[in-house]
Homo-oligomer: A and B are copies of this chain.
Amino acid sequence: MTTRTQMASEIAEQPEALARTLDALRPLRSELAALARGTRLVLFYARGSSDNAAIYGRYLLEVQARRPAAMGAPSVATHYRSDLDLAGVLAVAVSQSGETEEIVETARWARDRGAKVVGVTNAQDAALAQGADITLVTRAGAERAVPATKTYTAQLAAMAVLGSALGPEDREFENGLARVPDEVATMLQTAPGAESMADRLREVQRLVVSGRGLALGTARELALKLGETCYITTMGLSFADLQHGPIAVLDTATPALLVAAADGPMLPGMTELARVVAGRGSTPLGIGGDQGFQSACTAALPGPVLPEALAPLALIVPGQLLTEALARRRGLNPDQPRTLSKVTQTSG
């Protein structure tokens, strides 16, 4: 008899979920490129884990595809019903269930105001697809644990396909994308290290998670996971925002989890941040980075061998394992956090 949680099973399913999703979505690249022709701005609309996937998409579009991109605010559609002119906008609406009313309504609003709309959802025939010009249906399969894991990385894969479709040809990026399922499989081997790190965090009530640029969404997602699953008050912040004030909260009782890709322009700053965190009497714990970054951390889990632009697809996996292990150690059921349900409706 196994005692494995649903969340642990779904974390382990990610290599296959990603391979299926990439196979299904890559053929849509030329259709996406055609839809985006004539648009000058990509706006992402999402909530929760989908929002964290969209933050990755936002950076990927600007850095990899060289397309101006930003996060849209759903409440401008749903509550203020603002009559914006969205001609020239490619709106990307992301919802795992495809039924989150707020995002479905926002997608419809954007389309009515002249935007081209791409829906990203894990459910064929979702309401979201009705109002979209193209729907990217991720192939994560049914997700039963409340905390999103395989549906989140499948959304990241959809973002990567979008980046590939809208950007210039980039052989290194394409080769990296093909290697993602294998790299995620390798990341599953960090489970014993994640268990040790969970031991260290067993009693922690407050935590700061930080990453920057392409890895900011990873930091936010890890902060969300630890908050919703382990009830730790967690601030998920960019390295830069952390320096502008919140760094004052770090102390011996408040460790910092730092996430970084193995290369790219953010790595030196993240390594320096690990040293600053240690210098404040707090504990820097790392995920990813290179040798120098890991040495600057008190403990670290290795990250994937992927270019920075693709690292987020695998970099979250040790964090998922950490979250699941920590929830169990705290006597919590990671599959069903208190008061959360799978399809979140934003009421009010």
Contacts and interface: CB of A to CB of B under 8 A. Distances in A.
A321 interface: no
Interface of A: 40-41, 43, 47-49, 51, 58-59, 62-63, 66-68, 70-76, 79-80, 82-86, 88-89, 102, 205-206, 208, 212-213, 224, 227-229, 231-235, 238-241, 243-249, 251, 254, 265-266, 268-270, 272-273, 280, 337-340, 344, 346-348
Given A75-B266, A348-B268, A228 B248 contact: yes
Nearest to A224: B245
Contact of A248 (B41, B83, B89, B337): B337
B71 A71 contact: yes
Contacts of A208: 233
Q: Number of copies of this chain in the oligomer? A: 2
Contact of A344 (B49, B71, B244): B244
A11 to B, nearest CB: 17
Given A47-B244, A71-B71, A227-B249, 15 more contacts: A43-B70, A48-B241, A49-B245, A59-B76, A66-B82, A68-B86, A75-B213, A79-B212, A79-B265, A80-B265, A224-B244, A224-B246, A232-B249, A233-B233, A247-B340
A85 B68 contact: yes
A88 B251 contact: no
A70 B71 contact: yes
B43 A40 contact: no
Contacts of A51: 241, 244
A231 B213 contact: no
A66 B84 contact: yes
A208 B277 CA distance: 23
A239 B84 contact: no
A231 B245 CA distance: 10
